[in-house]
Amino acid sequence: MQRKIEALTDHIIVCGAGTTGAHAIRELLSTKTPFVVIDRDEARLAELWEEHGASAPAIHGEAYDDQVLSRAGIERARGVLVMLHDDRDNVYCTLTARSLNPRVRIISKAIEDGAAAKLERAGADRVVSPNFIGGMRLVSEMLRPSVVEFLDTMLRGREGLRIEEVRVE
């Protein structure tokens, strides 16, 4: 397993394979984006391995540990998704990842309302609050169901098709 991880470049490091992380992992697999998962829960990693096998390389350990992030290839990664269960851990993981690779793109999850500013100060490029997004989506589904359905069709389309971002120089 470690040999496969050592070969990864321009990959995504997924910090946390909990509920939010599981959705992110499915999307990364669907879009064939190379990634490695870090989680401290061995049982969760075993479930991940059982469901996805070698397609989901994983490391057991704390995602905010320098050595664990180094084993995940932080210096070769293009991005880090920080989705731990606690805002303090998310801040610490973001700070550690930023110190190990100043160029990597870091997207972090915020749980509490006040955490976003701290995560940005710690080095997150963007902060996402699943609770905020969930609340907005619920209201949008209630007030504008046809618009939501249209946008979902445009953004998701058939399985495996996504609208992609292309950089034009």
Q: What is the mean pLDDT of residues 73-90?
A: 97
- Taking only the tens place, the pLDDT of each residue in 4-24 is 788 889 999 999 999 999 999
Q: Is the pLDDT of residue 2 over 80?
A: no
Rounded CA-CA distance 30/120 in Å is: 29
Using the structure block, give the residue that is written with the tokens 């992380």: 21
Q: Is the pLDDT higher at 30 or at 74?
A: 74
Predicted local confidence at residue 159, as pLDDT: 61
Percentage of the chain exceeding pLDDT 70: 92
pTM listed for this prediction: 0.86
SS3 breakdown of the chain: % helix, strand, coil, rounded to 5? 50, 15, 35
Average confidence (pLDDT) over 130-146? 92
